[in-house]
């Protein structure tokens, strides 16, 4: 049975179902305003170690309040569910408009100006989007751009001791060269590169880095090997060459972009003054209350949260927050290790992968059975990763293996197996003579190890 009411919101049709949530159209009963409500199953979030990820998403969305970013109005919770009440944007994706062909210069400039305003605000708050592309840019009924999908975003505190981010993520054609290099990258500079690719697409109607062979496409990205069509304005060309600079150190910054002649034409800075008010339930701009309340909520009959006909169907939460894309598949494959595009010496990672039709819960349970069969192995689950750790008589780890599950499609999953610690021969022996035979019944195909099946 579908949720009919959540607090002040009358909930209607389901707008879509993602990897770990369902999204419904809803209406505020007091104001009549349309909103979108994302519903997450709290037990599944906790079971699969996604709590910190969800907390970060809440924190990020409350930090980046801007007219050109999809608004998170409030977060509510029951004993079993977490509810994100968000702005309902009904104009569709910018991708749909671009797919029909290139945009007129003035319209492309307008969207790019709004994108820069939004991303500038994000960076000033220490937030890096990391998956900017036309599919993640929505249009409202007035034709204004709205940035959405902060599922891969990172905060300043995510940086390692070198001051850089190290998670390889993004969408192939939009990812910056330094992200592929896997040596660490500045999140702001990587976002700027993606914005440059978006600008090119808006003006050209196609991507700057195109090749049927994905490896060749990444070579072009690494060298910034692209050409501007003859119809591009001279000032736009100059700006693009400064943005799509393969060297992040010399790549142009957002303030410099905003000072450029092409950008300045008709530019009106999008101020924060016309944002809708925050819900008083959470006490103004303090996002910490949202974050903690979502997970600390305990059901009681006197709770201010009321429900009528709550959805009885469990929201299935896979092991990863995002679907596998071509970039992820290439990055995981030892046969297509992209670091080889930049380095002569490239030591092969000791890992294997297999494809399966089984859902994440079944895969994880199967992996955990190995630990139950062999007492020398300890099994741990953390943030979507199942670790198998074998200890010696002294209690110290002598072999540590991480297994991570990724969704390719609704019916296919890829499982990556990596040796984290231990002797290579022992790892290979365990993989070939224990792990592979044990998983045989759920595996469709292996890759990255000896004796492929």
Cα atoms in the 13 Å half-sphere on the side-chain side of 402: 11
| Contacts for 386-389: CB closer than 8 Å, 24+ residues apart | 387/420
- Residues annotated within the binding site are 47
Distance (Å, whole) CA 108 – CA 201: 9
| Angle, CA 7 vertex, CA 305 and CA 284 arms, to 5° | 85
- Which among 106, 149, 119, 122 is positioned nearest to 266, based on CA atoms? 106
Q: What residues act catalytically?
A: 131
CA distance 50 to 53: 5
The answer to whether 190 and 246 have CB atoms below 8 angstroms apart is no
Q: What angle do CA 264, 268, 271 make, to 5 degrees?
A: 135
Burial of residue 277 (number of CB atoms within 10 Å: 0-12, 13-18, 19+): exposed
Q: How far apart, in whole angstroms, are the C-alpha atoms of residue 24 and residue 153?
A: 23
Distance from C-alpha of 17 to C-alpha of 2, rounded to nearest angstrom: 14
Q: Dihedrals φ, ψ of 386, to 5°? A: -100, 120
Indicate the annotated binding residues for ATP: 47
Q: How far apart (Å, rounded) are the C-alpha atoms in residues 64 and 72?
A: 9
Spatial separation of the C-alpha atoms in residues 441 and 354, rounded to whole Å:
12
């Amino acid at each position: 049975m579908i949720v009919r009411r959540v607090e002040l919101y009358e909930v209607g049709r389901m707008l879509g179902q993602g990897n770990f949530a369902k999204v419904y159209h809803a209406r505020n009963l007091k104001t009549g305003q349309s909103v979108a409500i994302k519903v997450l199953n709290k037990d599944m979030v906790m079971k699969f170690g996604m709590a910190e990820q969800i907390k970060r998403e809440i924190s990020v969305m409350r930090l980046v309040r801007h007219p050109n970013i999809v608004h998170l109005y409030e977060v509510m919770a029951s004993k079993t569910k977490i509810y994100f009440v968000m702005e309902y944007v009904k104009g569709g994706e910018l991708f749909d408009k671009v797919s029909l062909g290139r945009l007129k210069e003035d319209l492309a400039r307008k969207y790019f100006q709004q994108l820069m305003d939004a991303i500038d605000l994000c960076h000033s708050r220490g937030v890096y989007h990391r998956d900017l592309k036309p599919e993640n840019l929505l249009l409202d009924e007035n034709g204004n751009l709205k940035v959405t999908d902060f599922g891969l975003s990172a905060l300043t505190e995510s940086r390692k001791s070198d001051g850089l981010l190290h998670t390889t993520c993004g969408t192939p054609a939009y990812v910056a060269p330094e992200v592929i290099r896997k040596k660490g990258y500045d999140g702001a500079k990587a976002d700027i590169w993606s914005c440059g690719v978006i600008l090119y697409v808006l003006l050209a109607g196609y991507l700057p880095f195109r090749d049927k062979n994905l490896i060749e496409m990444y070579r072009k990205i690494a060298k910034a090997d692209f050409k501007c069509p003859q119809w591009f304005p001279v000032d736009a060309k100059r700006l693009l060459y400064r943005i799509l600079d393969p060297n992040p150190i010399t790549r142009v910054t957002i303030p410099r972009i905003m000072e450029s002649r092409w950008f300045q034409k008709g530019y009106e800075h999008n101020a924060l003054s016309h944002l809708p008010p925050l819900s008083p339930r959470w006490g103004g701009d303090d996002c910490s209350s949202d974050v903690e309340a979502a997970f600390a909520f305990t059901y009681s009959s006197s709770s201010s949260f009321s429900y009528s006909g709550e959805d009885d169907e469990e929201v299935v939460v896979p092991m990863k927050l995002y679907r596998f894309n071509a970039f992820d598949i290439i990055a995981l494959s030892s046969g297509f290790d992209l670091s080889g595009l930049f380095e002569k010496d490239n030591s092969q990672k000791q890992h294997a992968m297999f494809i399966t039709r089984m859902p994440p819960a079944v895969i994880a349970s199967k992996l955990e059975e190995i630990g139950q069969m062999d007492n020398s192995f300890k099994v741990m689950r953390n943030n979507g990763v199942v670790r198998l750790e074998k200890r010696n008589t002294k209690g110290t780890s002598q072999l540590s293996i991480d297994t991570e599950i990724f969704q390719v499609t609704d019916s296919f999953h890829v499982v990556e197996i990596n040796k984290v610690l231990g002797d290579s021969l022992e790892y290979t022996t365990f993989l070939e003579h224990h792990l592979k035979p044990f998983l045989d019944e759920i595996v469709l195909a292996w890759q990255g190890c000896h004796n492929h099946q």
